[in-house]
Chains A and B, each alone.
Chain A
């Protein structure tokens, strides 16, 4: 089985897995150029592995949370490939991806900065089981939920893509038309309108 992994939510990560082994991985924190660069990286992934995009059996795409624009880039690529080539798509959470980082504590507290004191946060047991579900939350409120013996994870430097894919390998795939970004947060305009209406 060959899998394509795409994460453009907070970084630019493109990976190809063959029988659950990574045979290509590009992982960069430099996201200024994501939208212009991403297709070339994808092309390089297939060139270097001597594969064709049609050889892919499943697409795993991180659909959030993170940079709104970043998420849309990855989701749009996945949807388009999935629709055009009829390849099943499985969405993944960026916070759960962070939780795959190997630590020597019982819990991983996964955080993505959401500005103004807020984070996108979740807490997982070591085996990726959720302890505190992902939320857009004030960091000070999330801190009250911290269990004993935890590690804070806020970078994808040491993530384990194989681990998260193994967990979700047999998830029910999503129809490309209904695949949506998982922003975890309404737009400001919607929040203001809700406030005005209530």
Chain B
């Protein structure tokens, strides 16, 4: 089964042709990152405008890349949420139009389900599993008993981890996006600044606004005292605390749910310190860890096509009235 998948929930216009939920026949990702850099973050209206300008160009490119015609496509999968509503709408309207023209099933895919299924493009996912989804918009721990069954066991109460990285990077005067900037700088520094371990409790929830404020206050205090900030040390201290709490709660989830398989997904899964920490813990505990290559970590349509295949197996099909949703739960369409 060949699925045309469309993803436009934030600042990447992406389309992909995925066969049987795991073979990537061709993926095109048009990133708007250079457009948004001047603004220090994604500007929703600018993102929507870019999607609308490039949507058919990306469609033509993906068909060329996969060397396929529309008649050979069996279904259309699309991210319907969560995300920036104006951005989501462009991909969703294109998907509905294509499904209508060619009379193909329309499969609605939750963005987080997509991130999780990015792993299926690397290696067939084995169940039960725990998924740690970390990105600019999400920080969630999900338990999956079997294919396309999701139980959210924890999530961020405020900022997403990637969002926190962006804000801390801004305070340190580092370029957007903050994740790679901090990750790189942290390697040159030492953990010398005292920062709190955020939401260090028995739950599976996360909170990153406290540590963000702690960094901002620390920078302000040092400035007032006339002390210079050792940026590389602060980057390292901050990253260590974030990595520590993510690792701690993820490993705890695996143990308490008696699960052997861990998958990591989302843009922040590209972070080297997080990868290293989870790899070490998984080796120690004999857990199987899968992290997709960076191409599949950041937003892309291949993951939507992979998830869409399993959604379709479960009978999840939308009609032409499908609407985009800025906020929605993974469990909603099950």
List A residues at the B interface (Cβ < 8 Å).
Answer: 35-40, 42-43, 53, 68-69, 72-73, 75-77, 79-85, 176-177, 180-181, 183, 187-190, 193
Contact = CB atoms under 8 A, between A and B. Distances in A.
13 contacts: A40-B320, A68-B86, A69-B85, A72-B48, A76-B94, A77-B93, A80-B98, A83-B60, A84-B97, A177-B57, A181-B52, A193-B38, A193-B39
Interface in B65-113: 70, 85-86, 89-90, 92-94, 96-98, 100-102
Contacts of A53: 100-101
A37 B323 CA distance: 9
A80 B58 CA distance: 11
B324 interface: yes
Interface string B20-64: 000000000000000000110001011011011101110110000
Q: How large is the interface on B (under 10, 10 to 19, 20 to 34, 35 or more residues)?
A: 20 to 34
A3 B8 CA distance: 30
A53 B43 CA distance: 36
A39 B96 contact: yes
Contacts of B38: 193
B324 A35 contact: yes
Main SS at interface, chain B: helix
Nearest to B48: A72
Given A36-B322, A42-B100, A193-B39, A79 B55 contact: yes
Contacts of A183: 49
Interface string B245-258: 00000000000000
A37 B101 CA distance: 16
Nearest to A68: B45
A43 B59 CA distance: 22
Main SS at interface, chain A: helix
A176 B318 CA distance: 27
Contacts of B324: 35
B53 A180 contact: yes
A152 B97 CA distance: 36
A80 B55 contact: yes
A69 B86 contact: yes
A81 B101 contact: yes
Contacts of B320: 39-40, 43
A62 B97 CA distance: 17
A83 B94 CA distance: 11
B331 to A, nearest CB: 21
B43 A177 contact: no
B100 A39 contact: yes
B230 to A, nearest CB: 30
Nearest to B46: A187
